C-alpha cells in the first residue's frame, strides 16, 4: 500500500494563528509529542524570522530524532543560511523554501515578472542543494496560479534539485475537484514529476481544507501538510487528526497507509489546545468534547444495543477513554436506566418510569443533567416512598 507522509506545521503556520505565541519550552514539548504521534516531518518554525524562532528550531532539530525537522525560508540566501544553521544538526535536515507564483502575488507583492520569479526560485533551490539533503519547494498561492505557468516553474525547480513539490491553497480558495485536477495536470505536464513527492497544503477559509487534502491524496499527493486541531492563519489549516482518521476509517477507499499513531491524537490535541490557549470547539470532528457524545433517545438506544449504529470511530482508537451518553431533554428511557444502574441504583421498572417522568420535566429546565441531578432525583423519590 502506498505510504502518505504527514508534515506538521503546528509550530510554524499554526503559530501564525492570531493571539498565539509559544515559547521555546512549549514548542519543544509540542514537538516531542508530535514525534510520539508519528509525524514524518515537523516544521518547527521560520529560523530567519526572529532569534527566538531560530533557537527554537535548532533545539527541536537537535532533540527530535525520529522524524525530519524542517524550517521555512523565503527564496533568499539569508533565509536559507539561517535555516541551515538551525537545522544542520537534525537527523535529516530539510529545507522548506517558497515563493509566490500567482499573478496577484507576482504583481502586487513581489513586483516581479513570471521569468524573474522562476529565476529566483531556481537560484534558491540550486543554492540550498549545496548543503541540504532534502529540499521542499512551495509555490505560494499555487491554486490561483495559471496552470501552464505553475507546471513550468515546478519543472524548473525539480531540475534545480527540489525533492518535494508543495502545492499550497494559501487562501483556502479551491474545492476538492479543482484541487485534484491541479495534481493531475502537474502529473501529466511536468517532466520528472514522478521523481519527486507531491505535497498538499490547504487552508480552511471555505471550510474545505480536509476535503481538499483528501482529494489531493486521491490524485497522487504523497505528503499532507496541516496542523493539530486545524489551527493556523485566519480560518486555519487542514486538521491533521481529521485527515489521519479519515484515511484509516476509509482505508477501503483511499488505500494508503501512514505512520500516525492514532491513539496519541487526543493527547496531542489537548496539549496543543492548552499551550496555544486555542479552545477546541465541542463539535469539532475527532477531538471535540462532543465527538463521541450521544444525546438523543434514538441514538442512545442504538448505541447501547450496538455501538456501530451511530459511531463510525471508536473513541479508544483516537485515545478517548469512552463515549458518553449525555442526559438531556432528547434522551430516552434506555440510557436513563443504564445511567441509574451505573450510579449503583437497582430500581423496579415502576420506580424507573416515575423517575423518568420527573427527569423529563427537569430536563426542560436544564440543558444537560449531571449525575448529581440524577442522584438527587432518586433520593427524593426514596424519601417520598
Ligand atoms: O499557505 C502557504 O502558502 C504557506 C507557504 C509558506 C507554504 O504556508
Ligand atoms: Zn500555509
Could you report the predicted ipTM of this complex, rounded to two decimals?
Answer: 0.99
CA of 255 to the centre of ligand 1 (A): 27
Cα(379) to ligand 2 centroid in Å equals: 56
- The number of the ligand 1 atom at minimal distance from the alpha carbon of 72 is 6
- CA–CA gap between residue 54 and residue 35 (Å, rounded): 20
- Determine the pLDDT at residue 358: 95
Mean pLDDT, rounded, of the chain? 97
Give per-residue pLDDT as tens, 291-337.
Answer: 999 999 999 999 999 999 999 999 999 999 999 999 999 999 999 99
Burial 20-35 (b: 16+ CB within 10 A, else e): bebeeebbbbbbebbb
- Contact 100/144 with Cβ under 8 angstroms? no
Determine the Cα–Cα distance for residues 336 and 332; give it in Å rounded to an integer.
6
| pLDDT score for 367 | 84
> With 90 as the cut, is the pLDDT of residue 155 above it?
yes
Least confident stretch, 228-232, 257-261, 361-365: 361-365
Lowest mean pLDDT among 36-45, 220-229, 341-350: 341-350
Which residues lie near ion ligand 2 (Cβ < 5 Å)?
Answer: 13
Average pLDDT over residues 225-229: 98
Q: What is the mean pLDDT of residues 258-276?
A: 98
| Residue to mutate, 101, 157, 168, ligand 1, most ligand atoms under 8 Å from C-beta | 168
Of 225, 215, 268, residue with least CA distance to 246: 215
Res 385 pLDDT > 80? no
Per-residue pLDDT at 384: 79
Which atom of ligand 1 is found nearest the CA of 203?
A: 1
Q: Which three cell numbers stand for residue 75?
A: 527564496
pTM of the model: 0.95
Share of the chain above pLDDT 90, in %: 97
Query: Helix 77-87 crosses helix 51-63 at what angle (to 10 degrees)?
Result: 40
How much is the pLDDT for 381?
Answer: 85
Q: How many CA atoms lie within 13 A of 204 on its CB side?
A: 22
Ligand 1 first shell, C-beta below 6 A: 13, 72, 98, 138, 140, 166, 168, 170, 201, 203
Which comes out higher in pLDDT, residue 368 or 205?
A: 205
Indicate which atom in ligand 1 lies nearest the CA of residue 12.
Answer: 8
Express each pLDDT in 125-134 by its tens digit.
999 999 999 9
Quote the pLDDT of residue 56: 98
Q: What does the pLDDT read at residue 212?
A: 99
How many angstroms is it from 186 CA to the middle of ligand 2?
Answer: 20
* Separation CA 324–CA 373 (nearest Å): 17
Confidence band for 37, pLDDT divided at 50, 70 and 90: very high
Give the contacts of 11 (CB within 8 A, at least 6 positions apart): 22, 27, 30, 31, 42, 43, 44, 45, 56, 60
Question: Which ligand minimizes its atom distance to the CA of 98?
Answer: 1
Residue with cell 489551527: 231
Numbered residues of the known binding site: 13, 201, 203, 237
Quote the CA–CA distance of 128 and 95 in Å, as a whole number: 8
Note the pLDDT tens digit of each residue in 96-115: 999 999 999 999 999 999 99
Amino acid at each position: 500500500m502506498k505510504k502518505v507522509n504527514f508534515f506538521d506545521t503546528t509550530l510554524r503556520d499554526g503559530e501564525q494563528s492570531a493571539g498565539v505565541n509559544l515559547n521555546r519550552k512549549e514548542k519543544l514539548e509540542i514537538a516531542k509529542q508530535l514525534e510520539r504521534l508519528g509525524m514524518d516531518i515537523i516544521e518547527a518554525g521560520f529560523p530567519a524570522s526572529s532569534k527566538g524562532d531560530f533557537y527554537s528550531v535548532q533545539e527541536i532539530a537537535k532533540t527530535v530524532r525520529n522524524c525530519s525537522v524542517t524550517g521555512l525560508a523565503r527564496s533568499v540566501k539569508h533565509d536559507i543560511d539561517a535555516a541551515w544553521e538551525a537545522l544542520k544538526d537534525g537527523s535529516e535536515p530539510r529545507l522548506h523554501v517558497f515563493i509566490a507564483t500567482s499573478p496577484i502575488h507576482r504583481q502586487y507583492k513581489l513586483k516581479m515578472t513570471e521569468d524573474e520569479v522562476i529565476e529566483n526560485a531556481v537560484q534558491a533551490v540550486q543554492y540550498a542543494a549545496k548543503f541540504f539533503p532534502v529540499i521542499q519547494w512551495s509555490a505560494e498561492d499555487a491554486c490561483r496560479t495559471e496552470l501552464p505557468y505553475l507546471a513550468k516553474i515546478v519543472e524548473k525547480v525539480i531540475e534545480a534539485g527540489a525533492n518535494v513539490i508543495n502545492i499550497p491553497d494559501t487562501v483556502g480558495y479551491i474545492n476538492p475537484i479543482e484541487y485534484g485536477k491541479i495534481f493531475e495536470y502537474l502529473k501529466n505536464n511536468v517532466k520528472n514529476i514522478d521523481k519527486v513527492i507531491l505535497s498538499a497544503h490547504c487552508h480552511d477559509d471555505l471550510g474545505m481544507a480536509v476535503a481538499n487534502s483528501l482529494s489531493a491524496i486521491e490524485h497522487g499527493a504523497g505528503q499532507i501538510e496541516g496542523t493539530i486541531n486545524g489551527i493556523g492563519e485566519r480560518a486555519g489549516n487542514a486538521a491533521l487528526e481529521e485527515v489521519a482518521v479519515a484515511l484509516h476509517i476509509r482505508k477501503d477507499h483511499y488505500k494508503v497507509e501512514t505512520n500516525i499513531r492514532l491513539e496519541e491524537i487526543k493527547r496531542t490535541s489537548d496539549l496543543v489546545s492548552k499551550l496555544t490557549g486555542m479552545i477546541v470547539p465541542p463539535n469539532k470532528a475527532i477531538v471535540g468534547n462532543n465527538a463521541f457524545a450521544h444525546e438523543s433517545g434514538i441514538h442512545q438506544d442504538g448505541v447501547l444495543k450496538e455501538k456501530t449504529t451511530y459511531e463510525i470511530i471508536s473513541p479508544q482508537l483516537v485515545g478517548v477513554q469512552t463515549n458518553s451518553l449525555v442526559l438531556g431533554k432528547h434522551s430516552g428511557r434506555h440510557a436513563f436506566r443504564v445511567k441509574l444502574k451505573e450510579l449503583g441504583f437497582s430500581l423496579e421498572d415502576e420506580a424507573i418510569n416515575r423517575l423518568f417522568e420527573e427527569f423529563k420535566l427537569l430536563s426542560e429546565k436544564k440543558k444537560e443533567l449531571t449525575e448529581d441531578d440524577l442522584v438527587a432525583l432518586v433520593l427524593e423519590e426514596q424519601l417520598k416512598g
